[in-house]
Chains A and B, each alone.
Chain A
Amino acid sequence: MLDFYRRLYRTIRPSSGDDEANPDDGGVRADGGVVTDGPAAEPPAEPDRDVTTRLKASLDRRFGSDFMESSVFWLPPFLLMGLFVYGAVIWNLLISLTDYQRFENAPDYSDLDFEMYTRALADSGFIDAAVNTLILLIAFTAGTLIVGLVLAILIDRGIRFENTFRTIYLLPMSLSFVVTAQFWLWIYNYNNGIANNLIGTFGLGPISWLGNQDIVLYAIIFALMWQFSGYAMVVYLAGLRAIPTEHYEAAKVDGASALKMYWRVIIPQLKGATISAAVVLMVFGMKAFDFLYSLVGGYRPPNGADILATKMVREAYANLNWAYGSAIAIVLFGMALSVIGPYLVYEYRRNNL
């Protein structure tokens, strides 16, 4: 083993050995070899043992040899991100237990209760928004996955201009929700929009896509599917490319039809791609706030399309019910957690983290 490293060392020495005597590295060098010329794996010179060195050594023993030295790299960003994400979520939870509202400068943390949550349960607007959120998440995710899978299978059949098609299908994803909302507002326009034009040729409609409470949510889901099915396609395409060709050929030798082959042999192998795409799509679905806000240019989405994300921001920033908004946010966070928690455990078990 040692020999192997020596050989390697010799092969890379010209490129990495030229700046060995760099003074600013001296302090941390105590644990490794120090010499420039000569084989690398020499026992380290005993460093002077003051308190910090001993502390560092004991931490390294506990966590692994590079723990202290590497913490410079990941710890500050981790703390910054932890403060903004987990610190803020905990803070948000605290605020949701207060009665913070209107123009008070800061919440009063001395009197904590669950009043905002009981208020939410009694608020029919909240229940509607929660139901709409669930419908949107499930229908949008499932629909997008199916469209993406079909596109990926079609594109994977060895077509010409594959890159062109792929680029076109993924194009909407590069656009902002604010931008796509403008496009779809125009498509769903009652008098001049494409949607009514199209169904008009079949003798149907016109339909008030965004005005009819029973339709508007599905019209929005359709628009979101348009924007993100290209993403699902890219993920599935990567999954399909990872399946060995023999599987296709074996199925063909068995005389399976194309449909049967995909259903029985190929699709089951796309489980990993489906799970990760579904999680990401659900997160996009929860962020549909930007789309709904831009559709109307305000905090109040079309009737029948209110979701928790829009209701939370409206309660907090339009009605100034800060604590109530925080409580809704906690519910939304819980929903997200119930999806991503199991997902992270799954990825960890597969050693994919």
Chain B
Amino acid sequence: MSDTEPRTDGGTMTTTARLRRTLDQTTVEDAGLYVVLIFAAAFYLVPIESGLVTSFKTGTAIIETAPFAPPGASGLTFEKWQAAIDALLRGMGNSLLYAVPATVISAFVGSVTAYGLTIPTWKQSYKAVVLMLIIAGIFIPYQAVLVPLTQFWSQWVQLTQTLSFVWALGVPDDYAGIIELVITHVAYGIPICTLLFRTYYKTMSDEMIESARLDGATLRRVYRRIVLPLSGPMFAVVLIYQFTQIWNDLLFTLVLVSTESSPAAPVVLILAGLGTSLEGQDFALRMAGAFFAALPTLAVYIFFGEEFAEGVAA
């Protein structure tokens, strides 16, 4: 009904009305709404846009043109991108080296954990305790575990020594940091992955599972035959969320790999120190570096925006 009468205050639109609407019905108030929305969009895009144009500017163009204006023919340079890629490329490789395995492992482990805590029948009150402990793990400020983590990896599990046969093959022993990062990210990723999968498994129809159980199927087979094949959409969400989180994280890399000059330094660590020198800050280089480092997560976001939104909203 609401699509036939002129809208006075909005808010009454239903989904069907929304679908039926055409441009002819656009009122002055709608136009105002769009102006506000476009201004908001500009607010979110300008910092990114200004960074992008700046990354192509020469030193003089940075001073002479407005920060959000394109560089113009004389002020255009690709030199900074070249320099940024040179500086960051090895970091990209290192980041992939731990982000990909850590993402895949934590997603799988999260799925298994959530399954064990959702589908099988055991006392709800005990389940809730385990779940609470797991979910609280999402919200822990990582500062509270940093010093023990350093102790653990540097004094207790000394990968630089235990894996000496790997370093003997010519791999720099800094790469022990990459292995530490994988294990650390998996351990701290379990809570959020479990929560995401659990919200999904809770909505799964139990009829099929219950009858399969009654039929004598073990939990392992129910997981492999029924639950896992149906988990595809949620795996997309979790993989994307985890990849973005792990790729973007600085704190653990700072503590476990520590120096940006290390051959195993991840991209975020190099970027954090890029473009600062005694002469001042090279903003074009910083912006080019920022964009280059953000490329993987930007690509993921552009291609899988829906899944990303679902992951953060859960």
Residues of chain A having any CB pair with chain B under 8 Å: 5, 8-9, 12-13, 16-17, 19-20, 22, 25, 28-29, 32-35, 40-41, 60, 63-67, 69-75, 77-78, 80-89, 91-92, 95, 105-107, 151, 154-155, 157-160, 165-187, 189, 191-194, 197, 226, 230-231, 234-235, 238, 245, 248-249, 252, 257-258, 261-262, 279, 283, 286-287, 289-290, 293-294, 297, 308-309, 312-313, 316-317, 322, 325-326, 328-330, 332-333, 335-336, 339-341, 344, 348, 353
Set B36, B221, B248: member contacting A22, Cβ < 8 A: B221
A171 to B223, CA, bound (A): 35
Q: Is B116 an interface residue (CB 8 A)?
A: yes
Q: Nearest B residue to A28 by beta-carbon distance?
A: B218
Cβ–Cβ < 8 Å partners of A182 in chain B: 51, 271, 275, 286-287, 289-290
Interface string of B3-15 (1 = CB under 8 A from A): 0000001111110
Task: Report whether B122 and A92 are in contact in the complex, using a CB–CB cutoff of 8 Å.
Answer: no
Give the shortest distance, in Å, between B290 (CB) and chain A (any CB): 4
Task: Report whether B298 and A168 are in contact in the complex, using a CB–CB cutoff of 8 Å.
Answer: no
Q: Nearest B residue to A2 by beta-carbon distance?
A: B214
With known contacts A170-B305, A171-B44, A173-B312, A84–B145 Cβ distance under 8 A:
yes
A218 to B146, CA, bound (A): 28
With known contacts A85-B188, A173-B312, A245–B14 Cβ distance under 8 A:
yes
Give the shortest distance, in Å, between A270 (CB) and chain B (any CB): 14
Cβ–Cβ < 8 Å partners of B188 in chain A: 81, 84-85
**CB interface residues, B 231-289, toward A, < 8 Å:** 244, 247-251, 254-255, 268, 271-276, 281, 283, 286-287, 289
Set A63, A95, A159: member contacting B34, Cβ < 8 A: A159
Task: Report whether B255 and A226 are in contact in the complex, using a CB–CB cutoff of 8 Å.
Answer: no
Other than A88-B144, A159-B37, give 16 A-B pairs with Cβ distance below 8 A.
A9-B211, A29-B216, A33-B216, A75-B116, A77-B190, A88-B152, A155-B37, A168-B41, A169-B40, A171-B44, A174-B297, A178-B293, A182-B275, A234-B309, A245-B12, A294-B271
Task: Report whether B219 and A70 are in contact in the complex, using a CB–CB cutoff of 8 Å.
Answer: yes
A182 to B121, CA, bound (A): 50
Task: Report whether B51 and A186 are in contact in the complex, using a CB–CB cutoff of 8 Å.
Answer: yes
Give the shortest distance, in Å, between B47 (CB) and chain A (any CB): 4
Set B46, B131, B141: member contacting A332, Cβ < 8 A: B141
Give the shortest distance, in Å, between A132 (CB) and chain B (any CB): 15
Task: Report whether A5 and B297 are in contact in the complex, using a CB–CB cutoff of 8 Å.
Answer: no
**CB interface residues, B 107-159, toward A, < 8 Å:** 109-110, 112-113, 115-117, 119-123, 126, 128, 130-149, 151-152, 155
Task: Report whether A12 and B211 are in contact in the complex, using a CB–CB cutoff of 8 Å.
Answer: yes
Cβ–Cβ < 8 Å partners of B274 in chain A: 297
A247 to B307, CA, bound (A): 30
Task: Report whether B141 and A333 are in contact in the complex, using a CB–CB cutoff of 8 Å.
Answer: yes
Instruction: Tell me which of A20, A88, A317, A322 has the highest count of chain B C-beta atoms within 10 A of its own C-beta.
Output: A88
Cβ–Cβ < 8 Å partners of B221 in chain A: 19, 22, 25
Residues of chain B having any CB pair with chain A under 8 Å: 2, 9-14, 17-18, 21, 30, 33-34, 36-37, 40-41, 43-48, 50-51, 54, 62-63, 66-68, 109-110, 112-113, 115-117, 119-123, 126, 128, 130-149, 151-152, 155, 184, 186-188, 190-191, 194, 207-208, 210-221, 223, 225-226, 244, 247-251, 254-255, 268, 271-276, 281, 283, 286-287, 289-291, 293-294, 297-298, 300-301, 305, 308-309, 312-313
A343 to B251, CA, bound (A): 26
Task: Report whether A157 and B287 are in contact in the complex, using a CB–CB cutoff of 8 Å.
Answer: no
Set B2, B117, B155, B273: member contacting A106, Cβ < 8 A: B155
Set A176, A235, A330, A344: member contacting B313, Cβ < 8 A: A235
Cβ–Cβ < 8 Å partners of B251 in chain A: 287, 289-290, 313
Give the shortest distance, in Å, between B267 (CB) and chain A (any CB): 9
Give 10 nearest A-B pairs by CB, closest first: A73-B116, A64-B122, A74-B116, A66-B120, A176-B248, A158-B13, A70-B120, A88-B145, A84-B187, A333-B144
Task: Report whether A81 and B137 are in contact in the complex, using a CB–CB cutoff of 8 Å.
Answer: yes
With known contacts A73-B223, A169-B41, A336-B139, A178–B48 Cβ distance under 8 A:
no
A151 to B44, CA, bound (A): 12
With known contacts A185-B286, A187-B50, A77–B112 Cβ distance under 8 A:
yes
Task: Report whether A192 and B271 are in contact in the complex, using a CB–CB cutoff of 8 Å.
Answer: no
A20 to B13, CA, bound (A): 53
Task: Report whether A322 and B301 are in contact in the complex, using a CB–CB cutoff of 8 Å.
Answer: no
With known contacts A168-B41, A290-B249, A183–B143 Cβ distance under 8 A:
no
Q: What's the A-B contact tally at a CB cutoff of 8 Å?
A: 378
Cβ–Cβ < 8 Å partners of B54 in chain A: 186
Q: Nearest B residue to A249 by beta-carbon distance?
A: B12
Cβ–Cβ < 8 Å partners of A33 in chain B: 214-216
Cβ–Cβ < 8 Å partners of B218 in chain A: 25, 28-29, 32, 69
Cβ–Cβ < 8 Å partners of B50 in chain A: 183, 186-187, 194
A138 to B29, CA, bound (A): 34
With known contacts A40-B216, A64-B126, A258-B9, A297–B276 Cβ distance under 8 A:
yes
Instruction: Tell me which of B45, B119, B148, B155 has the highest count of chain A C-beta atoms within 10 A of its own C-beta.
Output: B148
Task: Report whether B17 and A158 are in contact in the complex, using a CB–CB cutoff of 8 Å.
Answer: yes
With known contacts A29-B216, A85-B137, A332–B67 Cβ distance under 8 A:
no
Give the shortest distance, in Å, between B268 (CB) and chain A (any CB): 5
Cβ–Cβ < 8 Å partners of A230 in chain B: 44
Cβ–Cβ < 8 Å partners of B149 in chain A: 84, 88
Cβ–Cβ < 8 Å partners of B47 in chain A: 172, 180, 183-184, 187, 194, 226
A189 to B216, CA, bound (A): 68
Set B144, B211, B250, B281: member contacting A8, Cβ < 8 A: B211
Set A66, A252, A293: member contacting B250, Cβ < 8 A: A293
Sample 5 A-B pairs with CB under 8 A, ordered by A number: A70-B116, A77-B110, A178-B271, A325-B146, A328-B143
